[in-house]
Chain A
Amino acid sequence: MIKKNLVIIGGGPAGLAAAKSAYDSGERDIVILERENVLGGILNQCIHNGFGLHTFKEELTGPEYASRYIAEVEKRGIEYKLETTVLNVTDKKVVTAVNEKDGLLKYKAKAVIMACGCRERPRGGINVAGSRCAGIFSAGTAQKLINIDGYMPGKEVVILGSGDIGLIMARRMTFEGAKVKAVVELMPYSSGLNRNIVQCIKDFDIPLLFSHTVVDIKGEGRVSSVVIAKVDENLQPIMSTAQEIKCDTILLSIGLLPENELAKTASVELSPVTGGAVVDENMMTSVDGIFECGNVLHVHDLVDFVSMESEDAGRSAAEYIKRKGSPKRDYVAIKGEGGVRYVVPQYLSKSDKLDKLQLKMRVNNVYKDKRLTVLADGEEIYSRKKQIVTPGEMESVVLNADAIAKAQKADSITVTLKGE
């Protein structure tokens, strides 16, 4: 058993930022466990630009953004292990990992930060009927094949779902000479960022069909066509509108799911809405000393916000280790209402003195001309006008010390959308 103050699971943007920040908060005994053969996580395959506008005030590619954080980790001499897969985490913070060189590794940690990211929802998750032949990929798999391995997943493509990776891949496949015949979205709106709809779809005249879905996949051995149809208000396909599109490839961009299998082994309480842990303002989960940040906690649109959140988690974990645990605290729950699907963190401690508190949230539909409002026992403690909010764009509010003090005295905090 190796004693370690802080074990960080995952060396992607969340793990790197958490490590840097924990170090800068005084913690020196840190190890990052990364399953791939390089640090940087999914950023390594995101070779498009648009990263870092908030963090670095410039537009970087994914690998560039990652390399800046990797450099910070290297500069501080923080230990990391590559090609090392964590198998199990207990609620006593024993982390079991494995790699070729060391064999089984067992760490007894004082604190653990889970920064394991998310995975793509597979075809099975939405019950698309039809053939199970080759040529059906999740968008992220296709991205890796093209950008890392240098192979094309196909030549004529239909993309199901308009998540960000799907939109990015529509452009990427087009650049590489493939024909993207349609992007098909079940909902009447996209779950991706508006800038991606403009830059990846509209700029390339790719048909984006809202309120449509795939009802059949045809192909013997390899995809030969898909059948799509409009859906009614209950999202059920209207078969009279079915049309067949010839293609050899289907990419799925139908949602990202926080990868919380390890959190489960540690009995961390999970939110059925986010799929991530339930955390307090320190990003600490229901298990004392286990923290979560980044896409394993809730799926973000921008890596900049992942970094910010993870720096909070790193700082909190360092504090936790310094204080040899957390004091007994009372909490007030923070809930979303009136169109707000979820809020992270879900709990605020009633006693800790805080200068500012960032709440992150997503809405469940497209709303126009609303006020994003925070209520403490029904009293408005924050409100901001929003011309438009969409499920594809994460919203956040920052409460100041006054508002926090009010919130901490309340029995309930709700975040809601109010009409103008």
Chain B
Amino acid sequence: MKKIIVIGGGVIGCSVARELCRYEAEVTVLERFNDVSSGTTKANSGIVHAGFDATTGTLKAKFNMLGNAMFDKLSKELDFPFKRNGAFVLCFDKEDLPSLRELYDRGVRNGVEDIFLLTPDEVHAIEPAITENIVGALYAKTSGIVSPYEMAIAYAENAAVNGCNFLLNKKVVGLEQKDGDWEVKTEDGSVYGADIVINCAGVHADEINNLVCDKKLTIIPRKGEYMLYDKTCGYLTSTTIFQMPSKMGKGILVAPTTHGNIITGPTAKDVDNKEDLYTTVDGLNEVYDKARKSVPSLNKKFVITQFSGIRAHCTEGDFVIGESDKKGFYNVAGIESPGLTSAPAIAVYVAEDIASMLELKKKKSFVSKRKAIPHFAMMSDSEREKLIKENPLYGKVICRCEVVTEGEIVDAINRPIGATTVDGVKRRTRAGMGRCQSGFCLERVMEILARELGIDFETVVKNESGKYIVYRKEKK
């Protein structure tokens, strides 16, 4: 059987792996962190873009349009949170109205449907929280919101069920081609052989490419800082609110999340270090001030957390997708916005491309559906009763703010590609994501992790392997 190695377990790696699982091949994902969805995928705006931003004719525009159209069906099939909530682009200055018009025209050219130029009155009729200080806005009904890490995890779980092998804590450090086959070396000294290597390494995709290819790539880590508001602010807006884009990106947005919080951000600042996830005083101030330019009623008092993510900005200016100048080394690189939107379409394209390169046959046994962890908080009382009868652990609330039960946490740990860290549990169940930010449930989640994984309490980690949360008390 043909062997395919996917480097990187973000939303791109996971979706590509899942689509490849439709074919008769041995698919392995190498991920450098201890969980999938640990890089750019875990910290971004979570927007499914309508498609008016990307320059017509680019891969960004093409895959944005194709990807956007896939979300309704895909989110049901893989059972992850998605909502088509519509988006505005606000214009604050009469001088910018021609640019807004250009954006509209580009949208039409790219094939975006249900796109409109609205007057301030029309805007406020739909979204009253938007500032009075606008001269007009673009409105795109097909824009959506998605939970990016849950989407990637859904892809990963479904891939795993279909035979994909996920190897975690495997940082790729070497690539070599021997007699037409590839050898992939990881930091721990392991070597994996493959017929094809697919580079989905996100912000590190340039380093992986540059290990073997003549044509070098450069990815500039572009940091974006965010502030997340309590669910009590969720009523403020049901649509995504952008400001006029600049050459650095789409600017600071205000949007609901699929779980009912309000997200604001991101900044766009090129940084030197690809792991630089620090938030900064200036960055957070910028997010706050600019978000309030769109929605003046936002109040700092209701912020529950801040975070930042790194975008993989490639100097090529467009997605880099396809076989490189080395046979059997395939790039899916420079996937910055609208990368999340494009992921489903990129994955299908890449899988089909590789299937034809390797002459792979379709697998008969492919299971396309995946069921999410039951979400107790969102259930009706009768659903809750039924679930508790089946498993009483769903009657034990662990995270009070998000109403997450022990049943959900145990499920998150014991599924394929299950959670092994506190943050892994958080991304899968929302335990610790609420207004107390794990003040009450941290220790209980740690206990459950220790019990289910059969490890000592003090070896449970928040996120990074080896970076412990507590120490054992020394006996005196």
Contacts and interface: CB of A to CB of B under 8 A. Distances in A.
A141 interface: yes
A100 B466 CA distance: 34
B470 A153 contact: yes
Given A98-B384, A124-B437, A134 B461 contact: yes
Interface in B32-90: none
Contacts of B440: 119, 141
A62 to B, nearest CB: 17
Contacts of A108: none
Contacts of A237: 281
Interface in B437-474: 437-440, 442-443, 457-458, 461-464, 466-474
Interface stretch (B112-120, B302-310, B312-320, B340-348): B302-310
Contact of B472 (A96, A151, A261): A151
B382 to A, nearest CB: 9
Nearest to B395: A100
B272 to A, nearest CB: 15
Contacts of B385: 103-104
B360 interface: no
Contacts of A99: 395-396
Contacts of B277: 131-132
Contacts of B305: 122-124
A157 to B, nearest CB: 12
Interface stretch (A142-150, A180-188, A377-385): A142-150
Interface string B78-117: 0000000000000000000000000000000000000000
A35 B397 contact: yes
B439 A98 contact: no
A83 B392 CA distance: 12
Interface string B325-339: 000000000000000
A53 B179 CA distance: 83
Contacts of A149: 443, 457, 470
B388 interface: yes
A133 B400 contact: no
Given A103-B395, A134-B462, A140-B439, A221 B467 contact: yes
A130 B277 CA distance: 8
B471 A87 contact: no
B436 interface: yes
B414 interface: no
Contacts of B397: 35, 85, 87, 98
A151 B457 contact: yes
B393 interface: yes
Contact of B396 (A100, A132, A135): A100
A131 B471 CA distance: 21
Given A103-B385, A122-B436, A123-B305, A129 B395 contact: no
A152 B471 contact: yes
Contacts of B307: 132
Contacts of A132: 277, 279, 307
A109 interface: no
A60 to B, nearest CB: 25
B437 A123 contact: yes
A122 B470 contact: no
B470 A141 contact: no
A155 B468 CA distance: 12
A133 B463 contact: yes
Q: Which size bracket describes the interface of B in this complex? A: 35 or more
Contact of A120 (B284, B395, B436): B436
B389 interface: yes
Q: Which of A87, A123, A127, A146 has the most CB of B within 10 A?
A: A127
A329 interface: no
B300 interface: yes
Q: Is the interface of B mostly helix, strand, loop or mixed?
A: mixed
Contacts of A35: 397, 400
Contacts of A221: 463-464, 466-467
A98 B305 CA distance: 28
Q: Which of B440, B442, B474 has the most CB of A within 10 A?
A: B440
Contact of A145 (B228, B300, B435, B443): B443
A99 B439 CA distance: 21
B467 A153 contact: no
B134 to A, nearest CB: 27
B278 interface: yes
B42 to A, nearest CB: 11
A345 interface: no
B188 interface: no
Contacts of A137: 442
B156 to A, nearest CB: 23
Contacts of A327: none
B381 interface: yes
B470 A152 contact: yes
A125 interface: yes
Contacts of A176: 473
Contacts of B232: 264
B275 interface: yes
Contact of B443 (A104, A124, A144): A144
Contacts of B468: 134, 222
A138 interface: yes
Contacts of B381: 96, 104
Contacts of B304: 122, 124-125
Contacts of B443: 141, 144-145, 148-149
Interface string B388-424: 1100110111001101000000000000000000000
A155 B384 CA distance: 43
A154 B463 CA distance: 17
A120 B228 CA distance: 18
Interface string B255-284: 000000000000000000001011111011
A235 B373 CA distance: 45
A266 to B, nearest CB: 15
Interface in A77-101: 83, 85, 87, 96, 98-101
Contacts of B303: 124-125, 127
A108 to B, nearest CB: 15
A140 B435 CA distance: 15
Contacts of A338: none
A151 B439 contact: no
Contacts of A87: 397, 403
Nearest to B441: A141
A134 B467 contact: yes
B395 A122 contact: no
Q: Which of B228, B232, B396 has the most CB of A within 10 A?
A: B396
15 contacts: A101-B392, A104-B385, A104-B395, A122-B304, A124-B437, A133-B467, A134-B461, A137-B442, A140-B439, A148-B443, A153-B471, A216-B281, A220-B275, A220-B464, A222-B464
A-B pairs with lowest CB-CB distance, top 8: A221-B467, A122-B437, A124-B305, A221-B464, A85-B397, A134-B462, A151-B470, A100-B392
Interface of B: 227-228, 232, 275, 277-281, 283-284, 300-301, 303-307, 381, 384-385, 388-389, 392-393, 395-397, 400-401, 403, 435-440, 442-443, 457-458, 461-464, 466-474
Interface of A: 35, 83, 85, 87, 96, 98-104, 119-120, 122-125, 127, 129-135, 137-138, 140-141, 144-146, 148-155, 176-177, 215-216, 218, 220-222, 237, 261, 264
Given A134-B469, A151-B458, A155-B471, 18 more contacts: A35-B400, A83-B396, A100-B392, A100-B396, A101-B392, A119-B440, A122-B437, A124-B304, A124-B305, A125-B303, A129-B281, A132-B307, A140-B439, A145-B443, A149-B443, A152-B470, A222-B464, A222-B468
